Amino acid sequence: MARRSTSGSTGRPTGNPSGPRNRTPQPVRVRRRTFGDFVKALLAFVVLLVLVVGVPGALAVTVGWPLPTSAPSMGWLSQPIGVDTFLNTLTVIVWLAWAQFTACVLVEVKAAVSGVGLPGRVPGAGPSQLLARQLVAALLLVGATAASFTPGLSQLGHSLEGNQKGTVAAAQATPGILAQQQEQAKSTAAALAEQAGHVAAQAEHGGTSAHGTTKYYRIQPPEGRHHDSLWEIAQRHLGDGRRYKEIYELNKDRVQPDGSRLSEASLIRPGWIMEMPGDAHGGELVENPDAHVPSEVRQQIGDYARTGDHAQHQQQGGGQHADQDGATAQITVPAQRPAGDAATPAAHAQGSADPSTGHSADHSFGHSFGLPEALLGAPLLAAGLLAALGRRRRQALWQSALGAVGGRRGMEPPTPTGDAQDVQDALLVGADPEGVRLLDLSLRGLSAALTAESRSLPVVYAAWLSHGDLHLQLAQPAGKPPAPWQLGQDQTFWTLSRADAERYEDTDAAAPYPGLVSLGTMDDSRLLLNLEAVPGIVSLSGREADRAALFASVAAELATNGWSDRMTITLVGFGADLIPLAPSRLRHLDDVDALFETMAAETRQRRGALGAADHQSVLTGRTGPAQHTRWAPNLVLLATQPSAEDAVRLAELAADAARLGIGYLVGTESDDLPGAAWAMEITPDGRLLAPLLGLELRAQLLPAVQQHAVVELFVEADPEHDPDGPTTTPPFLVDISEQGRPAVYARLVGPYEIIGLDTPDGDRSALLHEALALLLLHREGVHPRVLSSALWPRGVTEDVRDALLERLRGWLGTDPDGGPRLRTDATGRLVLAKSVVSDLDVLRSLYHEATQGKGVDSRAVRGRLLTDALVLVRGPLLADRAEGRYRWLTHEIIDAQLPLLVADIGLALSAFHLEKDRAQKAIEALGAALKTAPDDERLWHELLRATHATGDPDRIRALAAELIARSGARGLPPRTEALLDELLPTWRDGAAATG
């Protein structure tokens, strides 16, 4: 073994960099018990005997029972207070003080026997518990467990609070410890001290300098206490938990007795051996080992002592990898296949795709149009936000149509402007809904396959999206994955190719890993960290504004992602304005006190539920019959720096969080948050650093400006936001008179037809028709990047896109005044001239004119306009569109707008005819509307009324039977049942006969 050098008490290595990362330890003698220790123990025993046994005995003999033997009468209140009453009251107080002190003694004795580093606190018993601790410590000082029963043993007389702040329980014990290693890990401190002589002998044979001996610490099993951690070891034996990094550096990558290696400061196992800095102290340390210990134990310590050179050599070789036979200790970038293997030939012919997602990487417009790059580079976040926004807008349309919000029937969603418009365009460009769909299918498919094989879900620390493939990094090897998954670069990687993911079909399996959230990109791979699987707290340091941007990104993606089911995201001290993104998922707490109150109760509840269900963790509960009823994660985002005392409490709360499906991401001003399992730092230039995890990412952020704009989109889509506005006027009205005949007329409602233009060349016709349809559905204008992203979701080169725009301009031509029919407005967006019109524009204009224009004052005009509008409806939107094209329609809400508009027209025309008792005409109008909006309950209700108005009971019975058949097992909606009860009281008899 190479010669060791030292730099002082800090224990940091100096000197020859090629030697092992150690230093010459200062001689520290194992403290032997003295006569004074026995005297202290005897006195402590006497004092405890007097206080715990003598006090109640004396009270029972001298005073007796101090409380009344029967219920006192009201007259007792008016009696004078005598000596007996005073003595009895004083006796009750003494009894209470004795009970409190006895409880403190029991708590301290339990902590000493079980090895807990931080005994529980008895409410209101600060001085009493301190006295109890000192007496129990003195009594047990002569026992074998004295050195380990409390971290403050050498500081008797210090405050109770001071002792509590020093210890943090944060590490996770990795399952799979061999029985032999468990037995060895239970060795007492005295037995370990006898092993120290062999270390010196082995070190001498290996070439170690004789100037000092090396001290070691063996990681102890929990056995009723929190799992041990490097922080606690440093606190006990170095006097400062922040010196855990020195222990980590001494032992990093060295082979442990179980064959695995320490590659992450937060992950240590019982039975492992830790070499300690030279100034370490305490009875648990092994020094000057004795040769009389079992040969197997001596061999383990000796073998570990010789691993320093190997660890240093491995570090210099630049290779840090997760041990294939042990637990994952780093988040490692997966081995990548060539980018050309992942993308289709068409994608390469049209341009480059983002290799991490297979999504468009078109940046040719750069910042010239002001789109926020943060959202352009966040495909999964953008897809989630866009899908949630679409659902919110559809919900608002249905609420307005059903009269939930008065005065807004038929309302068009407000057109965003300014920053909100830029953010919406960025979402449209950056979103990768196909990537989200494949990720969701892949994870649920994996869960279903494991369930079919009666296997449990493995713990997943991270997922990587690389060149379209999905790589899951496991906490530890879990055997061969189910097909079509394959083993990756080592036993801790399960990999699924994009081609295999596309063959997955929908399954009813519960979401197995809902806590996955994007953090950024590294080496053309996108990292999703599984927050609920982290063994403790994830800390995030850096500037406040940078931390806030990352917290907002994490919260927004968790709230809207498509690979989760139920979930709770608890935002503490920030994010109240984010609630509109997902009110059912996001929860805001004002401060840390509210967090402790809430999460302490939830932690207890989850522990009890897991125990009652006989599950080891929430992963066990996400498979099988009960998978959809429980085990939704709760992810806590605390953006503000907790106090030192709160950090300790939080670390204790998070010690068992990974098993319970609870994750903690905590902001801090420095990188030494107590109890942090994984520490990350966000830099001003947008890099996310996690040295212990081996990560340096380009962080995914949601800066304040974009965050506020995203929230504005959701708030404006809420029908309750502004009940008095906006007006119901569509954004684009056309001249429906004979003089307003358009130059170009496109029929979109039904089969796609274009009148007024020559048919373009066959190879270019599909793209030109799709581009025109997109522009016609967005009369407010379309950003060029949105257009190119819609036509080429996997990317396009600049020359191909520009060539298409030029052909589109040439195809549309110019108006008689010489103006182009496709122009660019002041914001850089592509806008069609008013001479280019679609039947959807005419449909909206006819309905608006009939209900808010000339038709209001003229019944004849209203009937003609409504009839003309209904004639335009030939079927669903773009009924004959080619398969694989027009995928951008999934981002639109036109599929909800058009049926509602047609239903409104049908209802208005039916009411027009029923005013003159023309029931058959009303039935015809409603039937025509039902062809496009068959699920609109309003149309069926009006059809029932119109049929009832014919006076033919057979027709209404036939219609009732049709409705019952359509409803199937779900049954009729309550309002439909009520209407049938009114119009056809005997309809239930017919339904029973049919059933």
pLDDT digits (tens, 9 = 90+) for 531-590: 999 888 999 999 999 999 999 999 999 999 999 988 899 999 899 999 999 999 999 999
**How is 415-459 classified by DSSP, letter by letter?**
PP-HHHHHHHHHHHHH--HHHHHHHHHHHHHHHHHHHHTT-PPPP
What length does the chain have? 995
Specify the 3-state DSSP secondary structure of 774: helix
Distance of alpha carbon 458 from alpha carbon 460, whole angstroms: 6
Distance of alpha carbon 929 from alpha carbon 939, whole angstroms: 8
Residue 811: predicted pLDDT: 94
Residue 634: predicted pLDDT: 93
Tokens for 694, please give them. Answer: 């081996």
Q: What pairs with residue 125 in β-bridges?
A: none
Distance of alpha carbon 781 from alpha carbon 400, whole angstroms: 26
Residue 628 has pLDDT above 70, yes or no: no
* Greater pLDDT, 431 or 164: 431
Residue 337: predicted pLDDT: 56
Contact residues for 803 (Cβ-Cβ < 8 A; gap 6+): none
Residue 140: predicted pLDDT: 65
Q: Is the peptide bond before 726 cis (omega within 30 degrees of 0)?
A: yes
Q: What pairs with residue 559 in β-bridges?
A: none
Residue 252 has pLDDT above 90, yes or no: no
Whole-number mean pLDDT of the chain? 76
Asked if residues 457 and 307 have their Cβ atoms less than 8 Å apart, the reply is no
One-letter amino acid of 322: A
* Greater pLDDT, 185 or 518: 518
pLDDT band at 267 (very low <50, low <70, confident <90, very high): low
Distance of alpha carbon 417 from alpha carbon 394, whole angstroms: 20
Write down the residue that tokens 């905590």 correspond to: 666
Residue 100: predicted pLDDT: 82
Residue 121 has pLDDT above 90, yes or no: no
Tokens for 469, please give them. Answer: 């493939």
CA 929 from chain centre, in angstroms, equals 43
Q: What pairs with residue 836 in β-bridges?
A: 744
Q: E strands, 414-567, where?
A: 460-466, 469-474, 486-487, 493-496, 516-522, 525-530, 537-542
Mean pLDDT of 280-291: 67
Distance of alpha carbon 946 from alpha carbon 943, whole angstroms: 5
Residue 190: predicted pLDDT: 36
pLDDT band at 994 (very low <50, low <70, confident <90, very high): low
Asked if residues 957 and 984 have their Cβ atoms less than 8 Å apart, the reply is yes
Distance of alpha carbon 722 from alpha carbon 718, whole angstroms: 8
Mean pLDDT of 834-841: 93
Q: What single-letter DSSP state applies at residue 489? A: S
Distance of alpha carbon 445 from alpha carbon 448, whole angstroms: 5
Least confident of 248-252, 407-411, 615-619, 837-841: 407-411
Distance of alpha carbon 511 from alpha carbon 562, whole angstroms: 10
pLDDT band at 222 (very low <50, low <70, confident <90, very high): low
Mean pLDDT of 151-162: 32
Distance of alpha carbon 442 from alpha carbon 497, whole angstroms: 10
Residue 737: predicted pLDDT: 83
Q: What are the phi and psi torsion angles at 826 (to 5°)? A: -65, -25
CA 754 from chain centre, in angstroms, equals 47
Tens digit of each residue's pLDDT (9 = 90 or more) over 357-396: 444 444 333 333 568 888 999 999 999 999 999 998 888 8
**How is 45-71 classified by DSSP, letter by letter?**
HHHHHIIIIIHHHHHHHHT---S-SSP
pLDDT band at 644 (very low <50, low <70, confident <90, very high): confident
Distance of alpha carbon 519 from alpha carbon 528, whole angstroms: 6
Tokens for 963, please give them. Answer: 């409705």
Least confident of 6-20, 64-78, 136-150: 6-20
Question: Which of 195, 159, 210 is closest to 27 using CA atoms?
Answer: 210
Tens digit of each residue's pLDDT (9 = 90 or more) over 713-768: 999 887 666 555 444 445 688 888 878 889 999 999 999 999 999 888 777 788 99
* Greater pLDDT, 638 or 232: 638
pLDDT band at 399 (very low <50, low <70, confident <90, very high): confident
Contact residues for 948 (Cβ-Cβ < 8 A; gap 6+): 956, 983, 984
Q: Is the peptide bond before 25 cis (omega within 30 degrees of 0)?
A: no
Q: What pairs with residue 679 in β-bridges?
A: 539
Q: HSE (CB half, 13 Å, CA atoms) of 386?
A: 28
One-letter amino acid of 105: V
pLDDT band at 164 (very low <50, low <70, confident <90, very high): very low
Tokens for 986, please give them. Answer: 């005997």
Residue 383: predicted pLDDT: 94
One-letter amino acid of 862: R
pTM: 0.66
Q: What pairs with residue 634 in β-bridges?
A: 568, 662
